[in-house]
Amino acid sequence: MEGLRFLFVDDEPHILQAVLRQVRHHFRAWSPRIQADVESDPRRAIELIRSRPYAVVVSDYRMPGLTGVEVLSEARQCLPTAARVMLSGQVDRDGLAAAINAAQVHRFLVKPWCDAELMAALEAGLAHHQTECQQALSTAPPSAPPGAGQQQAAAVSDPDANRPPA
């Protein structure tokens, strides 16, 4: 697993710092193959989603400006192989239904989360991403030019592949 990237979106900076500490500790043996970005502004998070190849996107549900459903729906469109995880301190039936139906989340975790549960969701998300990438490569149309599927895999695994030039 080379160059895999997580994105965590939450309007509360202390939540982002806590998640980042957990991820760095849990995935320390995988470093530098695992990178984690954090964003407190959901609109900026969507800009990141449009410009970087994330393997797993984790978003809070209730944030000012946009909901986590909107953020994860954008991730679903732009990054179809990425796993999507919703975190929420307030669970309501409509929000849960939107997360499942519109964003097609893979996991829904309630705040405060259990550390082991969050890390298991991230590991499952990475496995999902790898499986989706392999399926995309194996189902490349036969009329595609030679190497077309390999270019797609490089764009997914290279964290700088979709970054705009500096």
- Report the 10 Å Cβ neighbour count for 102: 14
Q: In the prediction, which pLDDT does 154 show? A: 33
Residues of the chain with pLDDT under 50: 1, 146-166
pLDDT at site 125: 97
Query: How far lies 81's CA from each of 131, 148, 153, in Å?
Result: 8, 17, 11
**pLDDT of the residue at 17:** 96
Task: Report pLDDT for 102.
Answer: 80
pLDDT of residue 78: 97
CA atoms within 13 A on the CB side of 114: 5
**Domains, in order of start, for the chain:** 4-157 (3.40.50.2300)
pLDDT tens column, 17-40:
999 999 999 998 876 788 999 999
pLDDT at 142: 65
pTM for the full model?
0.80
The pLDDT of residue 155: 35
Mind listing the pLDDT tens digit for each residue in 96-120?
787 788 889 999 998 999 999 999 9
